[in-house]
Amino acid sequence: MGIAGFLMGIFASICGIVACASSTSSSPSVGLVIAMLIIALILGILGIIFSAIGIKRRNKKAMAIIGLVLSIIAVVFVFIVFIIAGGILCAASNTIRYYY
């Protein structure tokens, strides 16, 4: 389970980075960014669960700890991006209401 948690943490981190990188490109697809963030969130939560189970077992404990850390970082990162995106959308909707 430690290896599964480690891999989930790596994949969640990669999905979060790809979502951020694609959101800053010249023509981002909002659906792609949201889908990548949701995938990163799901993989991060699964990584936390698998790593916690792997830490309780005796074998490959180091990989389980690294997976737990990566998964927690990915989940926190996704929440930060969701909060920032929500603030941007709220500000944009207020600006649109003001001008129309």
What's the CA gap between 2 and 79, in Å, rounded? 24
Q: Which amino acid is at 54?
A: G
pLDDT of residue 27: 57
Amino acid at 80: I
C-alpha to C-alpha distance for 70 and 67, rounded to whole angstroms = 5
- What pLDDT, on a 0 to 100 scale, did the predictor assign at position 2? 81
Instruction: Please say whether the beta carbons of 5 and 53 come within 8 A.
Output: yes
pLDDT at 69: 92
Domain boundaries, the chain: 2-99
Cα–Cα distance measured from residue 74 to residue 12, given in angstroms and rounded to the nearest whole number: 6
pLDDT tens over the chain, length 100 residues: 788 888 988 999 888 888 777 766 555 667 777 888 889 999 999 999 999 998 888 777 888 899 899 999 989 988 888 787 777 767 766 666 666 6
